[in-house]
């Protein structure tokens, strides 16, 4: 068996949960306006909602539109949100924190976030490798087979997931694969947001039946929201929590709802789905508001006062995730596959780079000649940015086109953000740097130029490094490309740019890439260039020419020098981005620093995405959601009668 029952059954419990947001004093939402800028008041989207779910059970949260189902699910799954959550949320009696979530819970969101170019089996293999690194290869394959079997995905295991552009798995198969991915880490608790959305009645019934059987089979507790279940689906729920206007209208076994409704004088009419009837009478938008209040009050009055008992704590064991080396290896393997299959990420860029570099090098093929001064400036054009020959066409050559195409991976990263978010939140890996791919791209960008335009091959390695650093930097901040271009020292010296805008001239990497790269090309190649003669000095040491050389066949404005250093000095006289001093190491350091800062910001942003606020215990004096007289026996979240969250302790894990 791949997924044995947990060492001890789990019980996920939430008591007196409330969720408070700030709205404008006239009741309208804040939108993007900061709360400090307008007069606000508190609004409770949830008030004193309590329920529990244990191993092997499915708790379905139902309610009319706007009842607070999503708010509750997101709050319990510790998702980031606009408001402040209150209440006691525990797993086996311990406060449900982000650490506990990462170790023992997983979520399946309404939108499937899958790698479009990987097959169902491949995605599961990576997920199992990352979340259960102790498994040997055969055990891993068995675990994947087990998940594919449990979710009915065997027949499509070799089909890629697909997306809006690329055909792949069907909607139902994608939903099941999302659930299988959540189960790959053997969670004790799974949150599902509207698992049946977008499915027809038969599909919805099949998914719910599957959830029930999966919950029993892997002994996990499942908490899901559901909109409008059919009678068959409803009858299959272990427990239902019905919300109305953010408050509980019923919580208990689905099978007992009919009896309960009869007991409060709201019997289910003949041939009517009990769920439909309940949702209809609990919907304040379409039913008499006083009836809805009455139903909520009836339920509230039947609830026992809150319990404060401690539950079983389990052992101190924590499931071990994959180490950094394994994470890096698995990600590299996955991205190697994506390199071949996903055109946006790498392969399309590689091809574009090769084609553009070839095209430009062929146009500039005459710059191979080193016997006259006239090809020196075009040679510089090929490498460095210029407003020269084709300004109208926006002619940016080797140094500039590659970073500009950083927009492509930025788009890809944006499209994949949802997947990264899921994987990070479920704790299967940490944000990683995809640095090696930058070297592949730099290579694709440079080799055609070296081959066609006869650049000195001995400098290829160093050029690849500086290009890879620059690509990494611009992948993080592609939108800064134009700013970098403007401020790279070619158009105007940084000293002429006013503060504080000048900071960009020093911070953005393009300037340092051009400075380093031109030095590598011109001064490290050990080549000399024709068309000059050395100056003759008289006895007093006064030269006939200030630069030490002159060009008999060219005007002084087209006379650059014999050695790389002389040529760079000539360029530097007009363009401050060039220098004949060897600053390559410093340039690389600046670019790397820029890339690292960007990656750090990106990692922090992703980390922020990983988790929202932990649910606060109901001890804050401001939290007083019992504003409705109808919820007379509901506990006030500010009441000291309710315990705060207990110290986080790990849980017993399953044996694999």
Interface residues toward ligand ATP, by CB under 6 A? 21, 23, 29, 43, 45, 63, 65-71, 82, 227
Give the nearer residue to ligand ATP in terms of CB position, either 67 or 207. Answer: 67
Q: How far apart are CA 41 and CA 20, in angstroms?
A: 10
Give the nearer residue to ligand ATP in terms of CB position, either 63 or 611. Answer: 63
Give Cβ neighbours of residue 539 (< 8 Å, ≥ 6 apart).
Answer: none
Contact between 318 and 650 (Cβ < 8 Å): yes
- Nearest distance from residue 207's CB to ligand ATP, in Å? 17
- Nearest distance from residue 17's CB to ligand ATP, in Å? 13
Token readout for 138 is 């055969």
Please report which helix (H) or strand (E) contains residue 16, including its range.
strand 11-24
Distance of CA 345 to the CA centre of its chain: 15
Q: How far apart are CA 403 and CA 405, in angstroms?
A: 5
Q: How far apart are CA 268 and CA 261, in angstroms?
A: 7
Query: Residues 103, 105, 106, CA angle at the centre, nearest 5°?
Result: 120
Give the nearer residue to ligand ATP in terms of CB position, either 29 or 493. Answer: 29
Give the nearer residue to ligand ATP in terms of CB position, either 97 or 244. Answer: 244
Give the nearer residue to ligand ATP in terms of CB position, either 54 or 628. Answer: 628
- Nearest distance from residue 63's CB to ligand ATP, in Å? 5
- Nearest distance from residue 260's CB to ligand ATP, in Å? 21
Give the nearer residue to ligand ATP in terms of CB position, either 68 or 612. Answer: 68
- Nearest distance from residue 295's CB to ligand ATP, in Å? 17
Give Cα separations from 441 to 96, 475, 598 (angstroms). 44, 12, 19
Give the nearer residue to ligand ATP in terms of CB position, either 82 or 203. Answer: 82
- Nearest distance from residue 227's CB to ligand ATP, in Å? 6
Largest Cα–Cα separation, the chain: 120
Token readout for 175 is 């939903």
Q: How far apart are CA 575 and CA 381, in angstroms?
A: 13
Give Cα separations from 135 to 145, 148, 152 (angstroms). 14, 17, 23
- Nearest distance from residue 319's CB to ligand ATP, in Å? 31
- Nearest distance from residue 41's CB to ligand ATP, in Å? 11
- Nearest distance from residue 619's CB to ligand ATP, in Å? 24
Give the nearer residue to ligand ATP in terms of CB position, either 43 or 217. Answer: 43
In 3-state terms, what secondary structure has residue 60?
A: strand
Give the nearer residue to ligand ATP in terms of CB position, either 36 or 325. Answer: 36
Q: Which residues pair with 44 in a beta bridge?
A: 20
Q: How far apart are CA 343 and CA 448, in angstroms?
A: 21
- Nearest distance from residue 396's CB to ligand ATP, in Å? 44
Give the nearer residue to ligand ATP in terms of CB position, either 197 or 656. Answer: 197
> What ranges in 387-433 are assigned the alpha helix state H?
398-404, 407-425
Distance from the first to the final alpha carbon of the chain = 8
Omega of the bond leading into 500 within 30 degrees of 0 (cis): yes
Phi and psi of 502, rounded to 5°?
-60, -25
- In the numeric block, the tokens 């507790």 are attached to 221
Give the nearer residue to ligand ATP in terms of CB position, either 70 or 119. Answer: 70
Torsion angle (degrees, nearest 10) of CA 262, 266, 271, 272: -120
- Nearest distance from residue 648's CB to ligand ATP, in Å? 27
Phi and psi of 518, rounded to 5°?
-65, -35
Give the nearer residue to ligand ATP in terms of CB position, either 156 or 241. Answer: 241
- Nearest distance from residue 110's CB to ligand ATP, in Å? 9
CA dihedral for 424, 429, 433, 435, sign (positive or negative) = negative
């Amino acid at each position: 068996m791949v997924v044995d029952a947990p060492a001890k059954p789990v019980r996920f419990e939430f008591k007196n949960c409330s969720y408070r947001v700030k709205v404008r004093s006239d009741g309208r939402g804040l939108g993007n306006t900061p709360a400090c800028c307008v007069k606000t008041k508190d609004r409770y989207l949830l008030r004193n909602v309590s329920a529990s779910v244990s191993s092997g059970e499915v708790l379905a949260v139902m309610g009319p539109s706007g009842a607070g189902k999503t708010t509750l699910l997101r709050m319990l799954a510790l998702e980031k949100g606009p408001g402040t959550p209150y209440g006691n949320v525990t797993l086996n009696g311990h406060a449900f924190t982000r650490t506990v979530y990462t170790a023992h819970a997983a979520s399946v969101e309404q939108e499937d976030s899958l790698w479009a170019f990987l097959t169902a089996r491949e995605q599961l293999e990576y997920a199992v490798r990352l979340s259960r690194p102790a498994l040997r290869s055969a055990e891993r394959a068995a675990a994947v087979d087990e998940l594919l079997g449990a979710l009915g995905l065997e027949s499509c295991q070799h089909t890629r997931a697909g997306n809006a552009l690329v055909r792949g798995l069907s909607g139902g198969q994608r939903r099941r694969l999302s659930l299988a991915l959540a189960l790959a880490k053997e969670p004790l608790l799974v949150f599902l947001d509207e698992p049946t959305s977008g499915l027809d009645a038969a599909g919805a019934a099949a998914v719910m039946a599957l959830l029930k059987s999966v919950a029993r089979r892997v002994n996990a507790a499942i908490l899901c929201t559901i909109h409008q279940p059919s009678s068959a689906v409803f009858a299959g729920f272990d427990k239902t929590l019905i919300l109305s206007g953010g408050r509980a209208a019923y919580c208990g076994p689905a099978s007992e709802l009919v009896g309960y409704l009869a007991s409060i004088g709201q019997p289910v009419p003949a041939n009517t789905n009990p769920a439909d009837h309940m949702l209809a009478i609990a919907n304040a938008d379409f039913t008499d508001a006083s009836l809805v209040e009455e139903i909520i009050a009836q339920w509230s009055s039947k609830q026992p006062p809150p319990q404060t008992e401690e539950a079983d704590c389990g052992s101190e064991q924590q499931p071990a995730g994959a180490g950094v080396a394994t994470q890096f290896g698995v990600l590299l393997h996955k991205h190697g596959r994506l390199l071949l299959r996903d055109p946006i990420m790498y392969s399309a860029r590689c091809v574009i780079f090769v084609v553009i570099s070839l095209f430009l090098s062929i146009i500039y093929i005459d710059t191979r000649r080193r016997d006259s001064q006239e090809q020196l400036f075009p040679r510089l054009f090929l490498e460095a940015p210029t407003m020269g020959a084709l300004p109208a066409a926006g002619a940016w050559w080797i140094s500039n086109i590659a970073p500009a195409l950083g927009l492509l991976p930025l788009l890809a990263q944006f499209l994949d953000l949802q997947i990264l978010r899921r994987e990070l939140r479920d704790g299967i890996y940490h944000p990683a740097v995809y640095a090696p791919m930058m070297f592949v791209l730099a290579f694709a960008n440079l080799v055609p130029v070296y081959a066609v335009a006869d650049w000195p091959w001995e400098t290829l390695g160093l050029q690849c490094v500086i290009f890879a650093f620059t690509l990494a930097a611009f992948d993080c901040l592609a939108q800064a490309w134009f700013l970098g271009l403007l401020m790279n020292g070619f158009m105007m010296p940084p000293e002429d740019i006013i503060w504080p805008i000048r900071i960009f001239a020093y911070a953005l990497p393009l300037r340092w890439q051009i400075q380093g790269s031109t030095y590598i090309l011109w001064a490290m190649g050990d080549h000399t260039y024709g068309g000059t003669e050395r100056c003759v000095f008289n006895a007093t040491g006064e030269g006939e020419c200030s630069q030490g050389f002159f060009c008999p066949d060219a005007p002084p404005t087209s006379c650059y020098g014999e050695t790389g250093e002389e040529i760079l000095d000539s360029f530097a006289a007009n363009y401050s981005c060039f220098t004949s001093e060897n600053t390559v190491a410093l340039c690389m350091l600046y670019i790397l620093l820029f890339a690292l800062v960007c990656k750090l910001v990106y990692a922090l942003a992703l980390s922020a995405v990983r988790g929202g606020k932990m649910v606060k215990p109901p001890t804050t004096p401001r939290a007083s959601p019992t504003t409705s007289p109808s919820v007379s026996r509901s506990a006030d979240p500010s009441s000291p009668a309710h315990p705060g969250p207990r110290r986080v302790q790990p849980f017993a894990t399953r044996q694999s």
